[in-house]
Amino acid sequence: MSKKGFTTTILHSDRSKAIEHGALHKPIHTSVAFEYRHSRDIAEVFQGKKSGYTYARQVNPTVTALEDKVTAMEDGVATTCFSTGMAAITAFLFALLKEGDHFIASSFLFGNTNSLFNSLGNFGIDVSFVDITDTAAVAAAFRANTKALFVETIANPCTQIGDLGAIGDLCEQHGVVYIVDNTMTSPYLFRPKAVKASMVVNSLTKCVGGHGDALGGAITETGLFDWRQFDNLIDNYKKGDPRLWGMTQIKKKGLRDTGATLAPQAAHILALGAETLALRQERSSANALSLAQFFEAHPKVNKVYYPGLESHPQHAIAASNYRTFGFLMSIELHDSIDCFDFLDALELVVVSSNLGDNRTLAIPVAHTIFYEMGAARRAEMGIADGTVRLSIGIEDIDDLIADFERALA
């Protein structure tokens, strides 16, 4: 489809390719296998000479329709979807890194991503965790064998933000794959391609799906990286457009071999959610900014972490890179308040571990999702015992403020 606005593109994306009966939605294809009336055709598909559907662990038309939407949202060239966001990140590592490689990761990471990267040492891959808010520290982390660098757009839970443009320049200079996890901003608030990212991860489970009713993940190739300089590629996948070589290996090794396939039913639900991503993001961001201002002025809240506040250390970077400041916020309560009492006093806000739902969610992070990593690593990430993470939804703002006001009182 020619370049249209963000929402127009998603809404009309299925229809732009012929669907039987003039249906507006891509149907949920449940077939595992696909018939070939001419046996030579199936051979050509397997040999990569023709495109076609073979077996649903690897390709499914409903999933392909979602992949095309994500590619359009990120202004990329190709996307592979997975069963979860974690599967997408795992597939990237498994498909593209090797023993003896070096990998740079932000030290401010989603808890499971941190846990995953800590396992890389078991496979002979060296990982450096760096403070991405310190560009000089990032610059100093590159080595001759560095293959990839991984950052998140807004770190969870304390909302640290790196100078992603400067980091993109460093990756370009060093010929390193720059992979940006865009989950906290979503392609509506930010396109990592703008800071020269070569690959973008989205946990579709969060705000792209938006309704907290389906898991899914995606990796998108932006087309900016020259894969001819990447020496971990298998010769078989170095065919055709070099911009797609890395993604081909992710599809073949990362998806086909691991089998972390997105179900077509989930793909359909996520595609429906994506239609209203922009509308929901505008609303949740506006709600989040109002709440951040409310908390900042409240005597029982010690700290508010929200990039939309002028007091946020990376407010200026966020303002120049992101369309709005997103749905993620954390607060540190006054020492006189027990965070469990506070959470139990909330009536509307849901105590839950998810993010990017239409409903506002709250969780005491040190005791739950960041518990396993231990106190030392938590301190490094700025997580205190009284830190409460909030994922702001699309409720009416007066109701949200009233609920927090009452719980704090």
Q: Rule CB under 6 A: say whether 355 interacts with ligand PLP.
A: yes
Q: Which is nearer to ligand PLP, 255 or 301 (CB)?
A: 255
- Residue 4 has a CB neighbour count (10 Å cut-off) of 13
Q: Which is nearer to ligand PLP, 84 or 330 (CB)?
A: 84
Taking alpha carbons only, the member of 80, 38, 36 closest to residue 60 is: 80
Which among 22-30, 122-130, 176-184, 286-294 is the span making contact with ligand PLP, rule CB under 6 A?
A: 176-184
Which among 2-10, 82-90, 120-128, 220-228 is the span making contact with ligand PLP, rule CB under 6 A?
A: 82-90
C-alpha to C-alpha distances, 302 to 297, 332, 339, 386, nearest whole angstrom: 10, 5, 12, 10
Q: What single-letter amino acid sits at 112?
A: N
The span from the CA of 226 to the CA of 86, in Å, is 25
SS (H, E, C) 260-327: CCCCHHHHHHHHHHHCCHHHHHHHHHHHHHHHHHHHHCCCCEEEEECCCCCCCCCHHHHHHHCCCCCC
The span from the CA of 105 to the CA of 188, in Å, is 24
Q: What single-letter amino acid sits at 255?
A: L
Q: Which is nearer to ligand PLP, 202 or 324 (CB)?
A: 202
Q: Rule CB under 6 A: say whether 212 interacts with ligand PLP.
A: no
Q: Rule CB under 6 A: say whether 92 interacts with ligand PLP.
A: no
Q: Rule CB under 6 A: say whether 66 interacts with ligand PLP.
A: no
Residue nearest to ligand PLP (CB): 85
Which among 55-63, 116-124, 200-208, 334-342 is the span making contact with ligand PLP, rule CB under 6 A?
A: 200-208
The span from the CA of 66 to the CA of 14, in Å, is 9
Q: Rule CB under 6 A: say whether 205 interacts with ligand PLP.
A: yes
Residues 6+ apart with CB under 8 A from 306: 159, 288, 289, 292, 312, 325, 328, 329, 330
Q: How far is the CB of 399 from ligand PLP (least distance, A)?
A: 25
Total residues contacting ligand PLP (rule CB under 6 A)?
16
Q: Which is nearer to ligand PLP, 248 or 364 (CB)?
A: 364
Q: What single-letter amino acid sits at 89?
A: I
DSSP string, 40-82: HHHHHHHTTSS----BTTT--HHHHHHHHHHHHHHT-SEEEEE
Q: How far is the CB of 215 from ligand PLP (least distance, A)?
A: 5
Q: How far is the CB of 66 from ligand PLP (least distance, A)?
A: 14
The span from the CA of 389 to the CA of 292, in Å, is 12
Taking alpha carbons only, the member of 303, 289, 300 closest to residue 157 is: 303
Among residue numbers 245 through 304, which ones bind ligand PLP (CB under 6 A)?
none
Q: Rule CB under 6 A: say whether 184 interacts with ligand PLP.
A: yes
Q: How far is the CB of 350 from ligand PLP (least distance, A)?
A: 17
Among residue numbers 40 through 59, which ones bind ligand PLP (CB under 6 A)?
none
Q: Rule CB under 6 A: say whether 84 interacts with ligand PLP.
A: yes
Which among 83-91, 138-146, 166-174, 358-366 is the span making contact with ligand PLP, rule CB under 6 A?
A: 83-91
In this structure, the dihedral spanned by the alpha carbons of residues 308, 309, 311 and 313, taken in order and rounded to 10 degrees, is -10
| C-alpha angle 34-39-43 in degrees, rounded to nearest 5 | 85
Which among 39-47, 78-86, 273-281, 314-322 is the span making contact with ligand PLP, rule CB under 6 A?
A: 78-86
Structure tokens at 26: 């891509």
Q: Which is nearer to ligand PLP, 204 or 309 (CB)?
A: 204
Structure tokens at 110: 């989603």
E strand or H helix at 328: strand 328-333
Q: Rule CB under 6 A: say whether 110 interacts with ligand PLP.
A: yes
Q: Which is nearer to ligand PLP, 86 or 291 (CB)?
A: 86
Q: Rule CB under 6 A: say whether 191 interacts with ligand PLP.
A: no
Choose, by CB under 6 A, the member of 61, 210, 217, 386 that binds ligand PLP.
Answer: 217
Which among 93-101, 180-188, 311-319, 398-406 is the span making contact with ligand PLP, rule CB under 6 A?
A: 180-188
Which among 99-107, 126-134, 181-189, 241-249 is the span making contact with ligand PLP, rule CB under 6 A?
A: 181-189
Among residue numbers 136 through 165, which ones bind ligand PLP (CB under 6 A)?
152, 156
Q: Are 69 and 274 in contact (CB under 8 A)?
A: yes
Taking alpha carbons only, the member of 213, 176, 168, 215 closest to residue 195 is: 168
Phi and psi of 372, rounded to 5°?
-60, -30
Binding site for ligand PLP (CB under 6 A): 84-86, 110, 113, 152, 156, 181, 183-184, 203, 205-206, 215, 217, 355
